Amino acid sequence: MAILIVDDSPDSRNLIKRLLEKNGFADIVTAGTATEAFLLLGMNQPTQITSQVDLIIMDVIMPDIDGIEACLKLKSHESFKDIPVIVITGNDNVKTLDRAFAAGAMDFITKPVKQLELKARVYSALKIKSEIDRRKAREAELVKVLAKLEKANKELSRLSSLDGLTGIANRRHFDYIYDIEWRRAVKSGYELSVLFLDIDFFKYYNDTYGHQEGDECLKKLAAAAGRVLERPGDLIARYGGEEFVIILPETGLDGAISVARTILRAVEKCNIPHSASQVADHVTVSIGVSSGQAALNGKPQELIAQADKALYEAKHSGRNQIKVFQAG
C-alpha cells in the first residue's frame, strides 16, 4: 500500500521515509509542499486521477498551504476523501489538533517522530483504509447487482404481459389495459370498440395438420391481425386458445367495422391452406364487433360480452365474416 509523505523539511521527510522503510513499507512517495502533493495525486486533472495512495502523512506547518488547509481540500474531493491523513505536529497543542481533526485528519504524530509510534499509527490507518476499500468495492458490486436486477425485473414484467406462443399481449395484460381504457373512455366520453376474433374450424386444422402447424397458424394470424392496428392505443391480445381480442380506444362502430374488415382481408392474404374447413380452402376467421360509449354502456364487461355475442352470431351465420352486436 502506497504512502505519501508531505513535509517541507527534507530532513523530516527522509527520516519518516527511512523509518517506514525499516518497517517494511516500500511504496513511499514524498512531496515538499501541499501543491506538489496535489499534483502527485492528480487532483488537478480530474480525467486522469491515478491516485493509488492509501495514506497521507502530512506536516501541519508548511509554507503556502498548511497541512490543515490541505487536509480540508483533500476531504472535500470525492476521489481523495477516503484516504486517511495523519498530521505531524510540532507539539500536541490541543487547538491545532482540534482544527486538524475538524479538517478530517484521522490521527496525529508529534515531532520528533518516534519509530514505534509511527509504526502503530501507520498500521492502524492502513487497516482502516483497507476496510474502507473493501466496503467501497462491495458497494460498487451491489450497485452493479442492483442494476442487473432492475433490468431483469423490467424484462420479467415485459415477458409476464406477453403470450408465450404468439408474442402479442396475453389475457392478463389485456385485462389490465382494458380497465385503463374503459376508465379513460368514461372520462373522455369517446367511444370504445372491442373486437373478438376466432379462427374457423381450428379444431379440424389441428386434426389435419397437427398441433405444431396449428401453433404456427396462430402465430401467423396474430402477427397479421396485429399489423392492421395502426394507432398507438390499439391493442391485440390472445384471449384464449384460438381466440383474440382487440381494443380500439376512441373508435366508433364505423372505425371498428373498418378495422375488422381489414383484418379479415389480412387473414385472407395469409392464404394458409385449410383443406378441412367448410367455408374456404384456407384459414378464415370470424369477428364480433361491439362499440359504445363507456359512460352510457354501464359495466366494462358488457362491451366484451357483446363482442363475444356478436362473434357467436358470426359463427352461426356461416363463419368467415364480421357481425356487429345489436341490442335486443
Which positions touch Mg ion (CB under 5 A)? 198-199, 202
Site string for ligand GH3, 153-192 (x = CB under 6 A): ------------x---------------------------
The catalytic position among 242, 250, 302, 313 is 242
- 288 touching ligand GH3, by CB under 6 A: no
Q: Which of 25, 38, 202, 325 touches ligand GH3 by CB under 6 A?
A: 202
- The cell numbers describing 325, all together, are 352486436
- 201 touching ligand GH3, by CB under 6 A: yes
Q: Which of 7, 66, 198, 308 touches ligand GH3 by CB under 6 A?
A: 198
Q: Are 252 and 193 in contact (CB under 8 A)?
A: yes
Give the chain's radius of gyration (CA, Å): 38
Q: Least distance from C-beta 213 to ligand GH3, angstroms?
A: 7
Stretch that binds ligand GH3, among 13-21, 137-145, 151-159, 213-221 (CB under 6 A): 213-221
Rounded CA separation 251/57 (Å): 75
Q: Which of 19, 62, 106, 218 touches ligand GH3 by CB under 6 A?
A: 218
Collapsed DSSP state (helix, strand, coil) of residue 76: coil
Rounded CA separation 144/6 (Å): 36
Q: Which is nearer to ligand GH3, 80 or 239 (CB)?
A: 239
**242 belongs to the catalytic site:** yes
**191 touches, from ligand GH3, Mg ion, none (C-beta below 5 to 8 Å by class):** none
- The cell numbers describing 111, all together, are 515531532
- 321 touching ligand GH3, by CB under 6 A: no
| DSSP character string of 200-254 | TTHHHHHHHH-HHHHHHHHHHHHHHHHHH--STT-EEEE-SSSEEEEEEET--HH
Contacts of residue 295, Cβ cutoff 8 Å, sequence gap at least 6 = 185, 186, 189
- 319 touching ligand GH3, by CB under 6 A: yes
Q: Which of 191, 200, 234, 308 touches ligand GH3 by CB under 6 A?
A: 200
> From residue 99, how far is each of 16, 53, 65, 113 by CA, in Å?
23, 23, 15, 20
- The cell numbers describing 58, all together, are 502530512
Residues 109-148 that bind ligand GH3 (CB under 6 A): none
| Catalytic positions, written as ranges | 242
Residues that bind ligand GH3 (CB under 6 A): 165, 198-204, 206, 211, 214-215, 218, 241-242, 315, 319
